[in-house]
Structure 1
Amino acid sequence: SSRNRKRNEDYLSRAVFYAITGNTKIGLLGLAYRKDPTFSGSEKLMYLLNNADGAGTSIYQQSQLVTENVLEVARDGIYVDYAEATNEAIILRYPAENIINWRTKRINGRDQLVLVVLRECVEQPDGYAYK
Structure 2
Amino acid sequence: MEQTLSIMFIEDDIVEKMKFYKTLSILNMGHEIIEANNGEHALEILSENDSLPDLILLDLSMPKMNGLEFLEVLKSNEFWKYIPTIILTTSSNHRDILTSYNIGMAGYFTKPLRFEDYVEKIKRVVSYWSFAELIEN
TM-score range, shorter chain: under 0.3
Higher helix proportion (structure 1 or 2): 2
TM-score by length of 1: 0.24
TM-score by length of 2: 0.24
Higher RCO (Cα < 8 Å, 6 or more apart):
2
Higher strand proportion (structure 1 or 2): 1
